[in-house]
Amino acid sequence: MQKTPAAEPPQIVKLPCSEYPAAGPVAEIAKNGYAPGPAYGQGTMTSYTEYLTINTKERYEIRDITAEVERVRAAAKLQEGFVLVSTMHITSSIFVNDHETGLYADIMAWLEELAPFGKDYKHHLTGEDNADAHLKRMILGHQVLVPVTGGKLDLGPWERIHYGEFDGRRNKRVLLKAFGF
């Protein structure tokens, strides 16, 4: 194991903040023991990637994966930047909404109305029966970019990151890519 060839420059963050969390600037953040500099954050970029495997019991299912996103942020030691959360399958979604099971049921019923299962889709000429899943996933979207500020997922009080499955009961992968410094 070699040493890292070049020492990293000090990484210094001082964030302006107009409204949140209501008490003016976010606390000054100094990594590596350096005192905060005169300006906002600057640093050398880090990239860290994991792949989460999800296998749902049901064909249609919604699952809160916020804890996984935070786990990846922490593993990457990210102070400032993003975690991209992106499903690698074209019959599932990543979306942000309330963690509330009544709403989960509403979302599924609503998607079934907008893009019903079992219609005479042309995609089914290939032997598949999941065209509805390909459509449903478009409405909720397939990826979310989670901001990281001051070493935390920078989410609103009710924002939770969800995986939406529309053709489950088999292994599906979700990419989690932390990017920043």
Window 21-80: residues binding a second copy (CB under 8 A) = 26, 34-53, 75-76, 80
Nearer residue to a second copy within complex by CB, 51 or 169: 51
Give the one residue of 6, 23, 57, 118 binding a second copy; rule: CB under 8 A: 6
- Name the residue among 144, 178, 149, 154 with its Cα closest to residue 76: 178
Contact 147, 154 (CB under 8 A): yes
Q: Which residues contact 123 (CB under 8 A, 6 or more apart)?
A: 130, 131, 134
Nearer residue to a second copy within complex by CB, 70 or 155: 155
CA pair distance 133, 114, nearest whole angstrom: 11
Nearer residue to a second copy within complex by CB, 59 or 143: 143
Paired tokens of 60: 């249609």
Give the one residue of 28, 106, 169, 170 binding a second copy; rule: CB under 8 A: 106
Paired tokens of 144: 């979310």
Instruction: Give least dist CB 130 to a second copy, A.
Output: 10
Give the one residue of 59, 61, 64, 141 binding a second copy; rule: CB under 8 A: 141
CA pair distance 17, 166, nearest whole angstrom: 39
What amino acid occupies position 32? N
Give the one residue of 59, 63, 123, 152 binding a second copy; rule: CB under 8 A: 123
Nearer residue to a second copy within complex by CB, 2 or 57: 2
Instruction: Give least dist CB 126 to a second copy, A.
Output: 6
